[in-house]
Structure 1
Amino acid sequence: MSDNLDALQAALPQLAEGVLVTLQLTVGGAVLAFVVSVGFGLLSISPVAPLRWLSTIVVEFFRGTSLVVQVFWLYYVMPLFGVSMDAVLTGVIALGLNYGAYGAEVVRGSINAVDKGQWEGAKALNMSPLTRMRRIIWPQAWVLMLSGYNNLLIMLIKGTAVALFIGLQDFAYELDELRVDTTTIFAYGIGLLVYYLFALVFSSGLRQLETRARRRLGLSARSAHATAGAAL
């Protein structure tokens, strides 16, 4: 046990650098996934048919193909077409597109779950489509989206480990290096704990956002979660 602890102490600088890379992938991927999900989620309910078709094609493509294969394509195949990116940017883009596609379904489902009476009332007030979405529909759908986004964010954190396949020295990579100097149980036991803490911190942050959003609408936790469950 003491040998494992000594090896862990010696590996702490490398593990810290790996944690930083994983955080970069998580934050960058989450931001891009949010932008992608909102964009294609709104396109999926557009009255313009070609825009809906475009959203469906893109979302189903990235949901229906492996994240690992997408990472390989971006990092190893795209340079053949003159598009080269460093490993961190590749990981961020792959995570953002993949989980953004799943998030687009969260956005679409949450918006469609808003009570039809709210849509009809906004139309009766002669609001423009943009004003109707911004002031009436989106604030209610946002509460529903946050539960789905929370689940996707946890999945994205775990998905950052795919960067190991393109040689990126993230936390998963450094864990594998630690395993060589210690034992499999010890190294990956630390990995389980650290990834759990990642998920706990980010998930708690989104729960706080959800609580604030509910309060703005005067919703109780029970009613909001029940509606979110129906939407998802």
Structure 2
Amino acid sequence: MGHLDHATFGWLTPALSYVMASIGAALGLRCTVRALAVTGRSRRNWLFTAASAIGTGIWTMHFVAMLGFGVSGTEIRYDVPLTILSLLVAMTVVCAGVFAVGRSPDRVRALLLGGLTTGLGVASMHYLGMAAVRLHGDVTYDPALVTLSVVIAVVAATAALWAALNIRSPVAVTVASLVMGGAVSSMHYTGMWAVRVEVTPSGAVLPGATAMQFIFPLAVGLGSYLFLTSAFVALSPTAGEREASASAQRPVENAAAH
């Protein structure tokens, strides 16, 4: 039995992964709030931005946490195509969940359906990411902990979508995203505690890329995307601000006309 270490860099990876999940959630909630205030193409664009932010945040959280994952007695490599597939799954499923909620007239049904879809998507992203792990030995899972991690993912996703629909104030969005970040992180670590590794020592070269060769640059790239998108969203005017500036200009135009 290989000894598993989930934080080989100490608190750095759990803390950083929590921050990434929270930023993704905050940005996603903010974009969803924006989406619900507009219609047509604008709404669609905001929903896409929301989905890509949440999907990217969740994926980055998972793999930043994985940077701290180590097993005694074996190196760890990652299968590149599977890892990229897990990112696409995260974005696609979150997109489906966000659109179900953003488009459907029946709020409750949309929320349950969206939460279930998104939660299962987050869980499948996690286990696909785990399937990409290559090491000397056999990986097995504790079924009870796997089930618990999926339940946490579905509950967290439903709560996040509910928050996106019902929360408007910046303070509430911040609190909701911190809770969401905590939920995604607890889903991840519950899933990781379910892992059992039987190490078979071997001198053979493992296929795939090391975390530092592949995951670290990708996480940095996606993290930068999240920060830049956050800045763009923070600086672009809300529907309310646009109306206010338009109505402020009207009296000036009317005065000029007389």
TM-score (norm 1): 0.36
> TM-score if structure 2 supplies the norm length?
0.34
